[in-house]
Amino acid sequence: MRIRAGAVVTALAALLQPSAGNAAMTIVRTVSIAERGPAAIAFDPITNLAWVGSVTDDAINVFAGVHSVAKITQAGLNPTGIAIDALGQRALVTSYGSNKVLVYNTADRRKIASVDVAGGPWGVAVDPRDGTAYVATFAANVLTVVRRDNTTQQIALPGCGGAIGVAYSVPASRVLVSCIYSGTVHVLDGATLATVNVIDIGLGAYTWGIAASLRDAKVYAVNWSGGAVNTGTVTVIDASLAAAVATGFTGGAPIGVAVSPGGTPYVTLSATNELAILEPDSGLVGDRVALPVDPGDGQNQPHAVGVHPSGRYAIVGNFHAESVSFVAAAPHL
């Protein structure tokens, strides 16, 4: 099937444009998927296709707009992270249960490599300039570097407990790794991979997702804080300074985070079943929308979120509800 990405974006622009005067986020459509636990989302900035990984059922759905156009059913055990190397036409998928990073050709979704990464690979981020991938290995507490030739290098993260998320700041040329058990964010120089600083957010913060802005050096680390409705913060980091510059209370036990091309952070609130948009400088909630829940037990626990390269809409993985929601976000480009 040949997909004309430009036509898809043009059609969605009309579908996802809020009515005049409506400044709130709006759920345009929720699409059920057969696979449980959508927990990883990444957009290809060239094709505009969204890759959605389901950690429980070991599958990936590829979306063009609101339609699933392909399914990869053997995506390794527990695909927990996805990152796109657009110029290299590669999608990198961390397979936590298989201790591998699986590499797919983004043009035809064919698996082209399987890279051994011991220690439970979880989060993954890519330097879009050279395609180098950075993988947080949860059990080994190291950063694994995977280059385009599929060679690897492991970098120690002293003091890290539960390396779970990773972000690459292009403006600052730095790698940031979130460690859920130690409540720390480790900042590494992108060229030398030497540790620049360890930001101590605190034990009990349960720092989970982390995402970097392409617009500036801001990086956002979300702190799950135990999972209660009235707990949860977001730490705003200046990657060029390798320091935290603000902390915003969100509540709702945030898990996932993504940043729009314009620099606006989006956060999933797992305890309140919401998607929130944050003020970029303070990390405080500026807008939020309720997400659908399972009609049987009223649960969702949204994990992953991704923002379309145009900034016009976001996709949220409804972890327990076995669906993905498309949220119009034009007022927050």
State the CATH number of the domain containing residue 263.
Answer: 2.130.10.10
Question: What is the spatial distance between Cα 234 and Cα 249, in angstroms, rounded to a whole number?
Answer: 7
- Please tell me the total count of domains within the chain: 1
Structure tokens at 254: 């945030």
Strand partners, 193: none
pLDDT at 330: 53
Please state the rounded mean pLDDT for residues 76-99.
94
- 19-23, 26-30, 75-79, 251-255: segment of lowest average pLDDT: 19-23
Q: Which residues of 52-83 are buried (b: 16+ CB within 10 A; e: fewer)?
A: bbbbebbbbbbbbbbebeebbeebbebbbbbb
Tell me how far apart the alpha carbons of residues 182 and 218 are, in angstroms, rounded to a whole number. Answer: 22
- Identify the band that residue 200 occupies on the pLDDT scale cut at 50, 70 and 90: very high
Residue-number span of the structural domain to which 182 is assigned: 5-332
* Whole-number Å distance between alpha carbons of 100 and 133: 13
pTM: 0.92
Q: For residues 265-294, b (16+ Cβ closer than 10 Å) or e, as one string?
A: bbbbbbbbbbbbbbbbeebbbebbbebbbe
pLDDT at position 294: 85
Q: How many Cβ atoms are within 10 Å of 298's Cβ, its own excluded?
A: 10
